[in-house]
Amino acid sequence: MNIIRAGLLHRHCLFNMDFRQMHLLKNQAFINGEWVCAQNKLVFPVLNPADDKVIAEIPDMDQCDAKIAVDVALEAFKTWRDTTAKERSYILRNWFELCKKNSEELAHIITAEAGKPLAESRGEILYGNSFIEWFADTARHINGEVIPSPWPNKQIIVTRQPIGVVSVITPWNFPFAMITRKVAALMAAGCTCVIKPSEDTPLTALAAAKLAEEAGVPKGVINIVTCSRKNAAPVGKVLCEDTNVGCISFTGSTYVGQILYGMAAKGIKRVALELGGNAPFIVFPSADLEHAADQAMLAKFRNNGQACIGANRFLIHEDVYDDFIKIFKERIASKCVLGHGTKEGVTCGPLINLAQTKKVAGLVDDAISKGAKVELGGKVAKDIGDKFYESTLLLNVTPDMKIYQEEVFGPVAVCLKFKTEEEALQIANSTKSGLASYVFTKELGQAFRMSGKLEFGMVGINDGIISAAEPPFGGIKESGIGREGSKHGVEEYTDIKYTLFSALDK
């Protein structure tokens, strides 16, 4: 293995960026404002999924480190909670400005550890930064209420108080944005946090923390505990069960979300869960098919299909099925360019790891064995590498195939034909997930009916990209609890307090 240690950066290059210029590439965890090793001194490697090279070795922390981090976050909370909203807003704005200034370096770190094309990494920095900017503003609008009292000489006052220490557990698919969306919100509310980033992409989290440090975020407000997958469960147990933790904010699989929710239940802790999706992408006969195909490309192939709001099932009306498939196929064939994320022109990188590649290949192979037709792709592009899966278009998918029900999380467009609006709704809603959904129609009444009847937290009408800092992001059913972004995102990290002021005539 070609090991490059972040601490010994002499001759190596991270693609076209020189390591010597990369002051954000850290190889230590961040606790109480200090860059630290694990108590046990163990490390684990962070790999580049494109070529399996080791980018850095970082601390493989366990329960002891997690406990220390929770305790310092509680200590920091005692003073951070009493800062003014204006001060918190000011610090968040500094952090935003520094992330903006260092976008290029952050983007290179994302591409190195997550594999996504540089253009997409730059897009993620813009998107992730928009949450820091948004919550820098929102911090000053966490208002209370004065409610008319039913009794004479009494006053009812409602205020919002920060919950306390928040445990933040994040995935690898958006290693920057999934952190800023939570951390900027909780900081605006007056909370502090311990972040456990994904074992696949901890370097982006550490880089963001480095910039937070430079921005003047007080020590202990943001702490990062890094660990390998082996230690994720013991570290997660401390982060969910320690009595000093007030809230668990998690983005990841429904399976792990259920485990964390169970642990949180023991302490009746607040949870904010962003879990898996199974988004339908529905095209009606009145739709502009060229536009629908353009949006389908974004909804399906962004981050190579590794997004919880990615389109998972394409439901196409029988009247326009052949026409839509023809346009969609042309788009995929001409626009999807598979390769290393740093290479000019590449639009689809590797999948994050071998397990994910095997899962995608298994779902496609199962569908093919049961009669699905491969129009494009359908296999690993071994000539590029063992984690590069071809951009795939799969037709004739039926309910008995695993790919019909499961979240693919890969570059496979699964297409089905429907006859009526009722049938489209029935198929779309026949899942335990309820995150994002997409509808393409020019009929106003149909757009409203679909918006009302789709059992999903988010509905995009004639659009395949719906997320931003301003609207509330989140799901229903097994896709989660709570909302991120918008004015609601900050409310997740506050408790409502009612105070009765009485005897005002005495």
**Residues identified as active-site:** 274, 308
Distance, CA of 289 to CA of 10 (rounded, Å): 53
> From the list 128, 246, 252, 305, which residue makes contact with ligand ADP (rule: CB under 6 A)?
252
Residue nearest to ligand ADP (CB): 236
Q: Which stretch binds ligand ADP (CB under 6 A): 100-108, 145-153, 252-260, 281-289?
A: 252-260
CA 68, 69, 74: angle at the middle one, nearest 5?
A: 100
Cβ 412 to ligand ADP, closest distance in Å?
16
Q: Which stretch binds ligand ADP (CB under 6 A): 65-73, 163-171, 459-467, 486-494?
A: 163-171
Q: Is 360 in the site for ligand ADP (CB under 6 A)?
A: no
Kindly write down the DSSP assignment for every residue of 401-412, as one continuous string.
Answer: SHHHHS---SSE
Q: With respect to ligand ADP, which residue has the nearer C-beta, 236 or 378?
A: 236
Q: By CB under 6 A, what part of segment 164-223 binds ligand ADP?
A: 169-172, 196, 198-199
Cβ 350 to ligand ADP, closest distance in Å?
15
Cβ 65 to ligand ADP, closest distance in Å?
14
> From the list 3, 8, 233, 500, which residue makes contact with ligand ADP (rule: CB under 6 A)?
233
The residues, ordered by sequence, that sit 6+ positions from 37 with a Cβ below 8 Å of its Cβ are: 28, 29, 43, 59
373-376, strands of its sheet edge to edge: 373-376, 392-395, 412-418, 311-317, 279-283, 436-440, 458-461
Contact (Cβ atoms closer than 8 angstroms) between residue 175 and residue 201:
yes
Contact (Cβ atoms closer than 8 angstroms) between residue 23 and residue 12:
no
What is the distance, to the nearest Å, from the Cα of residue 491 to the centroid of all Cα atoms in its chain? 19
- Letters for 119-158 (x = contact with ligand ADP by CB under 6 A, - = none) are ----------------------------------------
Q: With respect to ligand ADP, which residue has the nearer C-beta, 138 or 433?
A: 433
Cβ 243 to ligand ADP, closest distance in Å?
18
Distance, CA of 63 to CA of 40 (rounded, Å): 11
Cβ 44 to ligand ADP, closest distance in Å?
12
Q: With respect to ligand ADP, which residue has the nearer C-beta, 355 or 500?
A: 355
Contact (Cβ atoms closer than 8 angstroms) between residue 465 and residue 295:
yes
Cβ 174 to ligand ADP, closest distance in Å?
10
The Cα-based distances of 344 to 118, 287, 380 in angstroms read 9, 34, 21
Q: Is 46 in the site for ligand ADP (CB under 6 A)?
A: no
Q: Is 256 in the site for ligand ADP (CB under 6 A)?
A: yes
> From the list 42, 232, 381, 384, which residue makes contact with ligand ADP (rule: CB under 6 A)?
232
450, with CB counted inside 10 A (0-12, 13-18, 19+), is buried
CB burial of 114-145 (b: ≥16 within 10 Å; e: otherwise) equals: bbbbbebbbbbbebbbbbbbbbbebbeebeee
Number of residues lying near ligand ADP (CB under 6 A): 16
314 bridge partner residues: 281, 415
Q: With respect to ligand ADP, which residue has the nearer C-beta, 255 or 501?
A: 255
- Letters for 257-296 (x = contact with ligand ADP by CB under 6 A, - = none) are --xx------------------------------------
275, with CB counted inside 10 A (0-12, 13-18, 19+), is buried
Cβ 257 to ligand ADP, closest distance in Å?
7
Helix (H, G, I), strand (E, B) or coil at 394: strand
Contact (Cβ atoms closer than 8 angstroms) between residue 136 and residue 92:
yes
Tally of CA atoms within 13 A in the half-sphere of 415 that contains its CB: 26
Q: Is 469 in the site for ligand ADP (CB under 6 A)?
A: no
Q: Which residues bind ligand ADP (CB under 6 A)?
A: 169-172, 196, 198-199, 229, 232-233, 236, 252-253, 256, 259-260
